Amino acid sequence: MISPNSIISIAYPLIPGMTKKWIYEFSAITCICIGLLMGVFHTLVYPKMIKTRNIILTIFLRITVFTALTTALILVAFQFSGMPSNTWKSNSLPEGSGVSVMISMILMEILVGMVVTIRTNMGKNYFRNFIRNAYFTPSLEDRIFMFMDLKDSTLLVEKMGSKKFSSFIQDCFKDISAIALDLGSEIYQFVGDEAVLSWQIKTNKCFSNALQMHFSLMKLLEKKRQYYIDKHRKFPEFRSSIHSGIVSAALVGVYKKEMAYHGGVLNLCSRLQKVCRDHDADLVISENFHNHLIVDYPFIFLPITDIELKGISEKQLVYKVMIDTASLNQY
């Protein structure tokens, strides 16, 4: 039930003549503005601030910037809601109420920041399923897996040293993550110099996205060639293998929980990396994955028959995938 102005004046004895219109307009404008502010900060501003090495400084900067802009927005809300601009410092306000409101908003911002950080680290799909406790009991899923392995990583570690190599692989994984996000992929694991991506199969577009992932990464790395040469004195190249099928998905661990997939699909996909090396291929795909592909791009699929893989009893038919360099600009 909406209270009449007479009740408002009794319930909120802050300012003589306070009305519902003032309260509702001020609340709506403030909530919308602060909500938009937090959204913009968490998507555009904070990811860049997090790059600073001092986590304490990062937290201090976030709180300082948020507090300053929130205070400015509250003053703007007062202005547009029709309240006098000096209302916020009126003597009729309960003592400490402004400080309490500001502390509440800062705590809310910190809570939202924690949730966004956890969601970013886990991945949106893993985070959603974690909240739903969807993987408490193992379940079967139809998925695509892609293993992306850095070429000549052992030699690179020896030449660059562990610390410089870690910086190098950090940049590589950042570029992989950016493209994977655009193509609807989940980052399953980063293992040493290898990235493992996954798509839960919902439409046939997942297959074309997985195939496009390798060539999109090639294009991005080529654009950043000078950056890698200047910073690391080395240009990264990756071998990729793709396979699809049914796996078991479960949340494992007690003190450190993480998603785990089990089944022959991952084993075969990992073994396909050897086919890349043996047949001088940058990308190979399994027969099962190839059978589901519906693509309009100028890909060339070269069959490699009677492949024997360690730990796989049956001989495999795989495909070496290539694309004309001129066609790469379409991606």
pLDDT digits (tens, 9 = 90+) for 155-200: 898 889 989 999 999 999 999 988 998 898 888 888 888 999 999 8
pTM of the full predicted structure? 0.68
- Tally of CA atoms within 13 A in the half-sphere of 188 that contains its CB: 20
Rounded CA-CA distance 224/172 in Å is 11
The string of pLDDT tens digits covering residues 128-153 is 666 666 667 788 899 999 999 999 88
CA–CA distance from 298 to each of 126, 301, 330 (Å)?
34, 10, 10
Judge contact between 215 and 328, C-beta under 8 A.
Answer: yes
DSSP H helical ranges for 225-298: 225-232, 264-278, 287-291
Which DSSP letter does residue 225 get?
Answer: H
**Mean pLDDT, rounded, for 277-290:** 92
**Which of 167-171, 257-261, 298-302, 317-321 has the lowest average pLDDT?**
257-261
Judge contact between 195 and 179, C-beta under 8 A.
Answer: no
Question: What pLDDT does 184 receive?
Answer: 86
Q: Spell out the residues 6+ positions from residue 165 whose beta carbon is closer than 8 angstroms to its own.
A: 153, 156, 157
